[in-house]
Structure 1
Amino acid sequence: MTVKSSLVARRFVLVAVIIPAMITLAGIVVQLVALPYVPSTVATHWNASGEPDGFAPAWSVPLATLLLGMGVPTLLALLAAPGLRRGDRGVTYRFLGATGTWVSALIVVLFTWTFVIQAGGESSAEGAGIYFAFVVALVVASALALMAWFLQPATATVRSLSRAPQDLALASGERVVWVHGAVMKPAVMWVLWGLSIALTGAGIIAIAADSGASGWILAATGLLLVIVVGATTAFRVVVNDAGLTVRSVWGVPRFSVPLTDVAGVEVADVMPMGEFGGWGVRMAPGRFGVVLRAGQAIEVTRNDGRRFVVTTDDAETGAALLAALAERATKASS
């Protein structure tokens, strides 16, 4: 049975935006009702023993609930929206929609519960009550995420359209090189850079505030993300007598397909989210590659049937040259 595109989009908006908005609004209303009864400064973080070790003004909790309860689901929705508008489909979108509901419910229930139990004093916000609040939030969030999953229709992944490249005639000893860049879509790249820098900055601030191991973990995570983002958002794509080479502007990672391992070359129209679950160095069943944006890609079938994909501008020319070089190499070896 074919699922209407409009139904897929509407259900995604329902679980990724509308339900999180309703959950967040409900939590904020409860927090505002409890606001006059909690201390002016409330506990917002607890150590492994369940004792509060972080505090903030009471008014900041409803604000944080709004920013995180709606901010994360909205970010997920914005990442998925371009692909959905293009007609992309697959389990990734269903997962993102359910994740939006899960994140919102977990944050809102946890923030609201730990806020309300502080009404009348701080002592009630210590010990086992915090662990119980986390368990309740996790159970509620998981139940709502499961509901969100089944509210969305199941759709098959839309495989990219592909075609054989144009024929390109090469003389016997002619040497030709094609070089092009492969760069991630600026909006996605800036989100990744912003997240990595924000995590690193938060870690440095936490270290300066002598917050213990959490600051070092945040800073290390941020720095690792800086390295990963820098190494996987821009690549140089080369087609020459050695085959296809895709190398990060940082030098690593580097991927190559020699001419002797080229069984076929196609020009594909790739949709990253549905086919590969996102952007970057990605893997999908039977396929692997550097998928930095939607659109044209060189897709190479290796001798063992595996496929390597790289999205790049002017993929038509690169694919045509690679196919011609591989054909010439095959004839020369036979």
Structure 2
Amino acid sequence: MTTAPHTAALRVPFRLRALAALPFALAAVTYVALLAVWSDRLPDPLATHFSYGGEADGFTGRAAFTAVGAALLLTLGAGWTVLVRRGALWGAWLTAGLTGTLLVLVVHDNLDAADPADVVSPLSHLAVAAAAGAALALAGHALSRLVPPEEHEGAGPAVHPDAPRLDLGAGELAGWSRATASAPLTALGLLFLAGGAVAVLLGPWPLLLIALAVAVPGLALARIRVSVDRHGLTVRSTLTPRPRVHVPLDDITAADVRPVDALREFGGWGYRVRAHRSGVVLRSGEALVVRRGNGREFAVTVPDARTAAALLNTLVERRGRL
């Protein structure tokens, strides 16, 4: 038996969408303006790709680079504007700061270059871009306080009568914990880790960064432990202290068991975010799904999910009687 279907919608304030779009608009305007102001000091084509040592090994026409860079910023901005949530506004500002800074630094590296093949882009530029992204992330986090929380409409009943429950006495305490692993995430992480090793040997440092960005979180989430107790639901990596996801019991209105399709419903494996729901998805199959107070759902694929859902529903009802 499962909980009754319900419909829910989150009303995202216009102010939040505007604040999500703002850093991308500023980055795009700055990028295009600098290209225009420095046009007589820039070669054509520009050096736009660099080896591990910073030497130029790829070139793009000035007009094409202007269009591609602006399109990248505006596309990222559009995506964040549509999907942004109050608690993730910092991510929009981080993305804009990191991407915009890298584009501007590439333009700056080409200034006054007689031959684009002589342009050098030092690896330290990555640290500069990361610092700019972190600074803007802090700004985005601060600005999120200007936005009221998203309002939720159309929530269903807290716990459906047919939802699973445990026969737990009034004074009894109980907990549930289960470890599970993902073969696809392990294979993907190891594959990208091997790709990173190849990148170190061959020299294209951007490939190394991409490989590590995929391999490290992928392997961290390849084996997790899911726990349920009076504090709520916790999902943590068994290999590293982070990532860790905790949904407090006070934020849970109901729990259910549901089959999920990793690719069709979540677009892959790992920590996934979709409209009105998120989850830690290690495989297709049985998942524990909890409905939160704001109407969003959080899912985690784990064996024996029915026991976890039953315990959560019992604890939620017990909390309601206090």
Higher relative contact order by CA 8 Å / sep ≥ 6: 1 or 2?
2
Question: Which of these two proteins has the greater Rg computed from alpha carbons?
Answer: 1
TM-score between the two structures when normalised by the length of structure 2: 0.49
